[in-house]
Amino acid sequence: MKTMTKISTSQDIEREAKRVIQALYGDVSDFKISETFSLPEKGPRTGWDVQVRFLQNNLKYTVDLEFQEKTGQVTNARLLDTMSPL
């Protein structure tokens, strides 16, 4: 079992986002973080809302991930869009 990891830097966010996407989707390519927001929007930060994009099987995916900052736990993961790349 993986121990929980605090997520506080852009490197932490990228590492954990890649790990979660790989766990959910398997091997992907062209992984990019497109947006990162603090949660909540106002007040002390407790987590991160991270939007990622990647390619898999000739499709471009956009997925939104929410992480707790102190534990690295994913509290929400949702597919926002799937499309054929231009």
pLDDT digits (tens, 9 = 90+) for 15-53: 999 999 999 999 999 999 999 999 998 999 999 999 999
pTM (two decimals): 0.89
Position 1 pLDDT exceeds 50 = no
| Average pLDDT score over residue span 3-11 | 84
The CA-atom distances, in angstroms, between 19 and each of 10, 43, 84 are 14, 28, 24
Position 57 pLDDT exceeds 70 = yes
Position 5 pLDDT exceeds 90 = no
pLDDT band at 3 (very low <50, low <70, confident <90, very high): low
CATH 2.30.30 fits 10-83, yes or no: no
Domain segments of the chain as ranges: 10-83
Cα dihedral 14/20/25/30 (nearest 10): 0
